[in-house]
């Protein structure tokens, strides 16, 4: 039996238990994953603990109103891009304008039609994903770009500073990629880049973050992962890439390898210094003969 794909993860913030239950039922039936928060403070905690695609927020709550969540979302890089729909019992134009200027993407008054709100959510998420594709993904390979990666890495660093969970960075470079371009041409080089990107997405875990960092360089953040575990994963990925033909030219299969530097984050280390440390280890891997992954203890 084919697995039904969920359409997104929603957080409903409302102190009315009956309304939350109704909204959750309708969206769950439409193949959304839905979590509930009965207060602004509870919503803040859940937003830190889990990733959401969209927030549905009631304005009139006690002890904190929905307005207090606006400022929280706006001031955190992790949350400012999450689409937000306001539910309100007030059909007041000034209130609508205020919410839209504070960052709401839509404003719906109660009582509402559930079919309509589901359609609005569908449209918002489609638009948000289209924007992500344009702004945050590399056009050639489909993996995240450097800008998105660095923004996301800053968010992860804030999280690990609170939780003390391990996080490890890997910087990899395709070995002798210039020779591929010079020998077979840039179109073949593009095929190799697409192939490497595809294998990285297939072989890494769902929660590992991979981006094209520039040229033939890729960068990966292994969240909640110590250095030795990341090294084991990268060694396996390298074995997979060695074995795979990424392009065929005149009957000749093109195989590549890569070199990688791997390093865990330590307290007090800035993002820039952390990436520089990974880059130094990548250089050591190249100097040692390429086709290998290096950590500081190697």
How many Cα atoms within 13 Å fall on the side-chain side of residue 171? 23
Torsion sign over Cα 247, 249, 253, 255: negative
Q: How far apart are CA 215 and CA 218, in angstroms?
A: 8
pTM of the model: 0.69
The answer to whether 180 touches 256, Cβ cutoff 8 Å, is yes
Question: How far apart are alpha carbons 11 and 84 in whole angstroms?
Answer: 10
Of 58-62, 152-156, 289-293, least confident by mean pLDDT is 58-62
* Percentage above 90 pLDDT, the chain: 69
pLDDT in tens, 115-151: 999 999 999 999 888 887 788 889 899 999 999 899 8
Q: Which residues contact 291 (CB under 8 A, 6 or more apart)?
A: 175, 238, 242, 257, 258, 259
Q: At residue 88, does pLDDT exceed 80?
A: yes
- Which two three-digit tokens encode residue 142? 């489909």
Quick one: average pLDDT of 54-69? 87
- Mean pLDDT of all residues belonging to the chain: 91
Q: Are residues 82 and 52 in contact, defined by beta-carbon separation less than 8 angstroms?
A: yes
Question: What pLDDT shows up at residue 2?
Answer: 44
| Span 62-84, pLDDT tens digits | 788 888 898 888 877 678 788 99
Count H helices and E strands in the chain, helices first.
10, 12
- pLDDT the model gives residue 49: 80
Instruction: Check pLDDT > 90 for residue 245.
Output: yes
Question: What pLDDT does 10 receive?
Answer: 95
SS3 83: coil
Predicted pLDDT at 4: 57
**Which three-class secondary structure string do you get for 33-80?**
EEEEECCHHHHHHHHHHCCCCEEEEECCCCCCCCHHHHHHHHCCCCCC
């Amino acid at each position: 039996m084919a697995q039904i794909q969920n359409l997104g993860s929603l957080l409903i913030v409302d102190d009315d238990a009956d309304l939350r239950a109704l909204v959750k039922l309708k969206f769950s039936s439409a193949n959304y994953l839905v979590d509930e928060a009965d207060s602004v403070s509870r919503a803040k905690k859940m937003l830190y603990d889990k990733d959401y695609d969209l927030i549905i927020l009631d304005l009139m709550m006690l002890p904190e109103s929905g307005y207090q969540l606006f400022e929280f979302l706006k001031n955190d890089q992790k949350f400012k891009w999450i689409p937000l729909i306001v539910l309100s019992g007030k059909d007041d134009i000034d209130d609508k304008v205020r919410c839209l200027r504070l960052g709401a993407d839509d404003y719906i008054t109660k009582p509402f039609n559930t079919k309509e709100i589901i359609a609005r959510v569908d449209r918002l998420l489609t638009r948000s994903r289209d924007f992500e594709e344009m702004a945050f993904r590399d056009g050639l390979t489909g993996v995240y770009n450097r800008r998105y990666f660095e923004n996301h890495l800053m968010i992860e660093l804030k999280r690990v500073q609170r939780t003390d969970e391990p996080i490890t960075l890997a910087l990899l470079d395709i070995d002798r990629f210039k020779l591929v371009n010079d020998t077979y041409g840039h179109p073949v080089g593009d095929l190799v880049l697409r192939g490497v990107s595809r294998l990285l997405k297939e072989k890494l875990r769902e929660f590992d973050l991979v981006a094209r960092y520039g040229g033939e360089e890729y960068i990966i953040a292994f969240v909640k992962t110590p250095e030795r575990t990341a090294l084991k994963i990268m060694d396996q990925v390298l074995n997979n890439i060695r074995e795979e033909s990424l392009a065929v030219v005149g009957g000749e299969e093109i195989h590549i390898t890569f070199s990688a530097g791997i390093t865990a984050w330590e307290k007090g280390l800035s993002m820039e210094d952390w990436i520089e440390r990974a880059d130094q280890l990548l250089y050591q891997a190249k100097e040692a003969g390429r086709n290998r992954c290096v950590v500081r203890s190697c």
